């Protein structure tokens, strides 16, 4: 900045900027990776982006991705996953611990951070898995640089990462203070009902195998135990009307994530059309549950939209059901799909920003991100709300190379992604070099309980 304070590294000029106070046309000046002025009329800059006709959103934060590195790079890796993120307008991601080796200890977190350094296109943080093996260390592990917190798999996992025993769950919840993210499916129920899927061999039975009770029973258990230990919870990918009705009574200590997949796809049609490409855990369910998710979202009972980006190769997906793995891509399509819902009047732009920016910042105690305000990181997602595009497999950066939305025509598209003042994507092209750094979390959220 010059002596008069009117020169910026980057100036985003003429866009409709979405702030907590609402939307308005203004200029955003960025210096040293931070926002230094709104309404920066008359400023000069080293780089100027003409945002006329575009909306300028706070950088989108995807709080649930599986980038499969280390150990499963045939499906995905940190470079390709984060490249897909910025192509989709995402400026930060939180990556899950079910890699090989699992992310259970300090060395695992440090290995992932080192692998992301110089290769991640967007900012990043990693979950540590809550396990019987590391429960006593979680209060320390959750405070390490680049760690977003603890992830618990009550079902749909394997080996040391599966935590389906009440005693183990209580130990995990008792060690640490930060919000625990939970995949809530009842493992015992899933094992007893697997015969349904094996007998039919039909992926349309996926929501019958992994039924409503499997999700609801696990959610009830973990909410009760978290209440006993005083631990805040974040329930991932809520998929049923019954869970939403139950969780409505616990808004003071339990936050809720939903996925674009569950808001967009619908059984049985998606299974008939996509086969095992629509297979995920918890499952895509019927219209009753999808409408309940939309109702809760509009009422403000949903805190975060995550993608649950969980790729598998087409060869793996082609295995006979239920040997086929569950999971699909999502980080690159999260924003385009939700912008299309916006174009159809299913949610407001301000609500979308709450779910993808300010909501994640509030839930996880992210420092310096989640809003467009002076002093915050210059993370910006520029979108054209009127652009009409087609999502295709060719556009997908993921190693696996496919999306369940192949051929979907959408209205609304990300046209630029800016991370700490660096323009990393413009008009469907990644630019320069990867600039990703670990996300910072507030000290208040990172202090262990006594």
- Mean pLDDT, to the nearest integer, of 12-23? 93
DSSP 32: T
- What pTM was estimated for this model as a whole? 0.96
Pairing mode, strands 180-183 and 147-153: parallel
Tokens 């309940």 correspond to 292
CB 381 within 8 A of CB 62: no
Q: Is the pLDDT of residue 2 over 60?
A: no
pLDDT in tens, 298-342: 999 999 999 999 999 999 999 999 999 999 999 999 999 999 999
Residues 241-275: tens digit of each pLDDT: 999 999 999 999 999 999 999 999 999 999 999 99
373 closest CA partner among 3, 33, 113, 36 = 36
pLDDT value of residue 449: 26
CATH topology for 59-366 is: TIM Barrel (3.20.20)
Nearest Cα to Cα of residue 260 among 302, 304, 295, 305: 305
pLDDT the model gives residue 444: 57
Local confidence band at 40 (pLDDT 50, 70, 90 cut-offs): confident
Percent of the chain scoring above 70 in pLDDT: 97
CA 411/CA 418 separation, integer angstroms: 21
Q: Give how far the C-alpha of residue 35 lies from the chain's centroid of Cα atoms, to the nearest Å.
A: 24
pLDDT category at 125 given cuts 50, 70, 90 is very high
Task: Inform me whether the pLDDT recorded for 235 exceeds 90.
Answer: yes
| Tens-digit pLDDT profile for residues 405-427 | 999 999 999 999 999 999 999 99
Q: What is the reported pLDDT for 450?
A: 21
249 CB-contact burial (10 Å; exposed 0-12 / middle 13-18 / buried 19+): exposed
Two structure tokens written together for 112:
């992932």
Please state the domain extents for the chain.
59-366
Mean pLDDT of the chain: 95
Q: What is the mean pLDDT of the segment spanning 151-179?
A: 91
Active site residues: 308
CA triplet 363, 221, 192: central angle to 5 degrees? Answer: 120
The DSSP bridge pattern shows strands 55-58 and 7-19 to be: parallel
């Amino acid at each position: 900045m010059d002596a008069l304070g009117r020169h910026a590294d980057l100036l985003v000029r003429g866009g409709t900027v979405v702030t907590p106070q609402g939307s308005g046309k203004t200029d955003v000046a960025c210096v040293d990776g931070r926002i230094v002025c709104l309404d920066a009329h008359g400023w000069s800059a080293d780089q100027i982006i003409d945002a006329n006709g575009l909306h300028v959103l706070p950088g989108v934060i995807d709080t649930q991705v599986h980038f499969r590195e280390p150990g499963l790079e045939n499906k995905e890796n940190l470079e390709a996953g984060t490249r897909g993120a910025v192509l989709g307008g995402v400026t930060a991601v939180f990556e899950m611990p079910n890699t090989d080796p699992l992310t259970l200890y300090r060395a695992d977190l440090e290995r992932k951070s080192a692998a992301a350094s110089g290769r991640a296109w967007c900012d990043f943080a990693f979950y540590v898995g809550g396990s019987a093996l590391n429960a006593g260390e979680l209060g320390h592990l959750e405070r390490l640089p680049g760690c977003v917190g603890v992830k618990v798999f009550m079902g749909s996992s394997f080996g040391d990462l599966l935590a389906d025993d009440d005693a183990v769950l209580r130990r995990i919840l008792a060690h640490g203070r930060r919000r625990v993210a939970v995949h809530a499916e009842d493992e015992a129920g899933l094992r007893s009902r697997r015969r349904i899927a094996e007998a039919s061999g039909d992926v349309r039975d996926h929501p019958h195998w992994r039924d409503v009770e499997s999700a609801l029973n696990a959610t009830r258990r973990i909410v009760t135990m978290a209440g006993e230990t005083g631990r805040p919870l974040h329930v991932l990918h809520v998929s049923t009307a019954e869970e939403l009705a139950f969780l409505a009574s616990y808004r003071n200590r339990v936050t809720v994530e939903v996925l674009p997949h569950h808001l967009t796809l619908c059984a049985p049609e998606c299974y008939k059309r996509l086969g095992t490409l629509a297979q995920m855990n918890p499952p895509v369910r019927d219209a009753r549950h999808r409408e309940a998710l939309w109702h809760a979202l509009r009422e403000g009972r949903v805190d975060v939209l995550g993608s649950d980006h969980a790729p598998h190769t087409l060869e793996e997906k082609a295995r006979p059901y239920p040997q086929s793995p569950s999971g699909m891509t999502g980080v690159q399509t999260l924003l385009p799909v939700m912008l299309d819902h916006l174009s159809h009047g299913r949610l407001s732009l301000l609500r979308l920003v709450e779910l993808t920016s300010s909501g994640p910042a509030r839930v996880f105690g992210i420092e310096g991100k989640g809003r467009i305000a002076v002093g915050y990181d210059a993370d910006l997602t520029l979108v054209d709300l009127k652009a009409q595009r087609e999502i295709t497999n060719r556009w997908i950066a993921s190693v696996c190379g496919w999306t369940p939305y192949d051929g979907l025509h959408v209205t609304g598209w990300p046209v630029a992604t800016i991370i700490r003042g660096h323009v990393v994507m413009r008009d469907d092209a990644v630019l320069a070099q990867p600039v990703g750094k670990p996300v910072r979390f507030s000290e208040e959220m990172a202090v262990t309980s006594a």
